[in-house]
Each structure stands twice: as C-alpha cells, then as structure tokens.
Chains A and B, each alone.
Chain A
Amino acid sequence: MDLLLVILVDGLIYGAWLFIVSVGLTLVFGVLGILNLAHGSLYAMGAYMTASAVGLYFGAGGDAVPLGSYAVMILAAAVVALLVTPVLERGLLRHFYHRDEVIGVLVTYGVFLILEDVIKLIWGVEPLFVYEPYDLLGLVEWGPLFYVAYDFLVIGAAIVVGLAVWAFLNKTRRGKVVLAVIHDREMSQTMGVNVDRVFMLAFGAGVFLAALGGALTAPMISVSPGIGVNVIIVAFAVIIIGGLGSIEGAAIGAVLVGIARAASVHLMPEIELFIIYFVMAVVLVFRPEGLFVKTQTRKI
C-alpha cells in the first residue's frame, strides 16, 4: 500500500514536470502546425539562462531575499522567449507554414542542431550547478518518507501553468481568437484576425513554457550539454498520447506517462526507458490520433 502511494506521488511529481515541458510543444503544434524538434534545446536554454541568472543573483547579495531567486528563474525563461522568438519564428519558421508537417520537423531538426552548438558556444561545456532554489524550501515529511518541498512546487507550477493556459484560451477574447485560428486559419484571416501576430504570440508562449520547464529543472540537475536531447523525446510521447495540439491531452498524457514511469522505476527499473514509448505505442494502436483528438474525415 505504501508502495502504491509512493508510486502515485513520484508519478505526479514526474508527470507535473512532463506537463510543463510538453504543454508548449502541443500549443505550438496546435496553432502553427509545426512539431518543434528544437523544443528540447529551448528547454536547455531556459535551464542555462537560469543557472547563470540565479548564480548572478546570489553572487550580487541575493542571500538576503533567497525567495527572489524564483522570480529570477521565471524572468530567465521570459528572457529566452523574448530573445529567441523573433529570430526563430519571424526569421525562419514562417516560411514553412504552408509546407508539409514533416518539413516542419526537419527544419526544426536543423534548428535543434544549431541551438545545441550555440548553447555550447555561449555557456561552454562545463556543467553548471544552481542548487540554492532546490534546498530553499526544505523537506516535507510524509508518513515514513521525506520529499523535497521543491518537488511539490513543481506540481504547483504545473497546475498554475495548466490553468493559466486553459483560462487564457477559453476565457479571454485574445485566447478565443487563438482558438479560432487553430480551428480555421483562412476563415479567421478573412474575418480580420492578424494571423501572423497570433502565430508569433503562440510560438512565443511555447518558447516561454519550454524555457520555464528548463528553469524549474535547473536546480534539480547539473546543467550540462545534451540535457535537451532526452526531454524532447519524452515530451513527444506525452503530446502524442494526449493528441497533438490538445492541452487537456498533454495533462492526461503527462500524468499517465509519469505514473507509468514511476511504477517501472519502483517495480522493474530495467524497463524505465522502454515504458514511456510502450505506453505511447499502445495508445496509438487503439487511438491513432491520440486520446483527445477527434478523428477527422479524409479530404480528397
């Protein structure tokens, strides 16, 4: 029984993290129709930016207000989004919106290759550490177990992010415009929607969420080259399970994959990597378009 609880809690923590790193990916696909292979690199940039910024913050006497480092982390993610979005979306991706989805994958594969090296050029190849935000909240005792409180902060962040995205899309005028563009791009253009701006906004939000995922992860790991490569693969699994472009789907997919992985870690550690793709393959066999996407009729 204890084991079940442990699996559930670990699964939720991992699932929350997964949701944050994959929700941006599914949002970008939903709006722009581009499956962004460089998402993992943007995540890595967020992590690096956080490592540098939080390092600077504590170096400049941030010890007085240690909780301020959380604001610095969010700020770091925003800086990444502001720097990268104009270059990537305006400069490159907009030339490919009318092309095949697979071309989008390839273009972003090229961007992935470029960003991996750009990251190494900017931050070097030595690992960076920012443990301060991770230790800040102390431990939480739960029955016989101790959890790092930061892990629950990640769950909180995932809930906030999920609700914010949902509320933006469904409750605000601007969000409804985004939904209209997802539904029918040409029609919304004729109705006077500035589609270019919606695309840039959505891509920017996607970059910010990827970088935020990296920012939240940076204190938990050693920030080193290659951290983005694996992220992209699990994030893909999550959003494919949920259905490409579906926010609810990403949430369900993240929890599903999180719990499956936690279960395998505790019960059969050998299949830890295997299980994620296995869940995805099984879902796709029964629901070829993912859990939350309605099957569409073929157009001739």
Chain B
Amino acid sequence: MKILANTPLAAGLALAGLIALAFVLPDWALFLLTIALAKGLVSLGIITQMRAGLVSFGQGLFFGLGAYVAGLMAHFTGVTDIFLLTVLAVLVTGIVGVVFGPLLSNYRGIFFAMLSLSLSMILYGTLSKMTSLGGTDGLNVAAPTFVGYEPEARALSLSLYLYTVVIVVIAGTAMRIFFDSQQGMISLAIRSNELRVEYLGASVRRAHTQNYIISAILGGMGGVITALAIGHVDPESSIFWTISGEFVFVAILAGYLSIPSVFAASIILELVRSFSNLYFPNTWQLALGIFLLIVILTLPNGLGSLVDRRRA
C-alpha cells in the first residue's frame, strides 16, 4: 500500500488504468462507468462534508442544477460544448453554494441534513411546476461537442468517458491534496470535537462553508456530465430526495477515509442497480436496501476502512 500512498503516482496509475479500460470495455459498460464516475463526484462532495461530521441529504440540489445547466443551455442557446457547460455548471453551483453555505454552516446533524434536503426539494418543486422549463417531463439534452469536434455513436461515448475520467482524476487528486492540507485536516478535528477547534483558533463555520461550496461544485460537475451522458434531465431523476439518498448511500458505503473507494462504491451501486434491474426488475430496491443495511452493520467506516486502517 506504500505505492498508493503517493498521490501523484496513484493519480497517474488511476488515469492510465481507466483510459486503458476504455479500449477493452463494451459500450454498455463504458456508459455505466461514465455515469458511475460522474455520480461519484457528487458523493465525493458528500465525503468532503462528512469528514467534518455533516451529512447532506440534499445533494440532488447541485446535481440537478448541473444537469439543468446542460439541459437549459442546449434548449435555449444551443450551446453543447462540454467544456463551456462544465465551467457554467461550476459557476452556477459555486454561486448557489456561496449563498447557502454560510447559512447552513450554523446547522449540525439532523438539522443540516434536513435543511439541505428542503433546499433541494424547493428546487424540485419549482422545476416540476415550471412548464416552460419542461415541468415534470424535463428536457432533452443534445449530445455534447468537444471544442468543435462532434463525435457520434461509439466515438461519442468514448470521448465522454475519457472526459469524465480526466475530470474525476483531477478532482480526486485535488481533493486528496486538500484533505491532507492544514485547512482540510481541520475538518477531521471538527468531526471529533468542534468546540476545541474553536478554542484553538480555527473557524468551524468557515471550514463548513468551504466544504459546502466544494461539495456544491463537485455536485454540479457530476450533474452536467450525467445529463450529457443520459441525454435527458427531469426533476424526478436528478433532484428528488431519493436521488440524494443514493449519493449518501455511496458516501456511506465508501466511508470518508479514501477517495478511490468513493468511485469504487459508486461503480458498485451502478452495477448492482443495472444487474438487478435486468434480472429482477421489481426488487432491485430491495436488494439495494439489504445491501445498505449490511454495509452499515458490518463496515461502520465504509469500504475505505478496508484499505486505510489508520483511523478505522
């Protein structure tokens, strides 16, 4: 495990490995991985907050905002460039994060979870009723272009996958560096005792706000990529509370100790979902629920605790 502890090397290996996969895997697996990695970004945002002891049950807010950036831009302006859309999603979710972050930084535990949930449900309610923005049917999202390059079929899913991989590796590496930085370590201290952190001179509110904004941006990036990959956005599948629940599910499955395990957990969830959808379409939620209960009972610190025993 010594090799993987070296962040740049681990990032390089992950990048090479994920890119190599692109040339072996069939289309459906590529699509599944794209979705899983993109949603993993959202859960990475939850992990960021979880390190400081907060669990957001409303990450669908940012996932949905990111997805609707892609949908609305394609619908109203015809912009389909993936780089531009990603930047826009980051801006929009970042601004929303800056607005709500300071407000939510006063709340802890169940109140934080429920208030973030209510914010996401406000967006859900608004978008469901706005027929000009697609209402409950949502909007179709045009296929993405890559600075003028307009791939189709296999080339499209390949380009999208590679783009996702690059974003994920960059985000994962950046978050590892942030987590190990002084400001990032404060989160762990807050988790164990927030009052002491205050007495030692660090601002708990500032750390929570910062984490919130980071998680907002990660959520937005995940949303925009997912929307482009699926080609459709609607309030039910991108903002509703059950979606936010899935993101928390992945975060809990992964635990807050290791970043690769977040994406591994996300892939596991997508695999369980697709296979149970295929083989027992009426009971896939049942399988998922039992799986979740087993994880909580047997791995209180998540998958990551299997790799990283330092704090487990």
Contact = CB atoms under 8 A, between A and B. Distances in A.
Interface in B110-151: 110-111, 113-115, 117-119, 121-122, 124-126, 128-130
A273 B289 contact: no
Given A270-B130, A277-B125, A101 B195 contact: no
A120 interface: yes
Interface string A95-121: 100001111011101111110111011
Interface stretch (A78-86, A166-174, A279-287): A279-287
Contact of A113 (B57, B107, B110, B288): B288
Contact of A120 (B55, B282, B297): B282
Contacts of B196: 300
Contacts of B285: 113-114, 116-117
A92 B290 CA distance: 11
A277 B122 contact: yes
Contacts, number: 117
A102 B49 CA distance: 13
B136 to A, nearest CB: 10
Given A107-B296, A109-B245, A274 B125 contact: yes
A285 B129 contact: no
Interface in A153-168: none
* Size range of the chain B interface in the assembly: 35 or more
A158 to B, nearest CB: 23
B221 interface: no
The secondary-structure label for the interface of chain A is: helix
Nearest to A125: B282
A117 B277 CA distance: 13
A106 B109 contact: no
Contacts of B117: 233, 236
A288 B115 CA distance: 10
Contacts of A269: 129
B230 interface: no
A113 B115 CA distance: 22
* Size range of the chain A interface in the assembly: 35 or more
B118 A280 contact: yes
Contacts of A13: none
B289 A102 contact: no
A102 B129 contact: no
A298 B195 contact: yes
A136 B249 CA distance: 45
A72 interface: no
A233 B115 contact: no
B68 interface: no
Contacts of B126: 271, 273-274
Given A270-B130, A277-B121, A278-B122, A110 B283 contact: no
B252 interface: yes
Interface of A: 35, 37, 92, 95, 100-103, 105-107, 109-114, 116-118, 120-121, 125, 229, 233, 236-237, 240, 244, 269-274, 276-278, 280-281, 284-285, 288-289, 298, 300
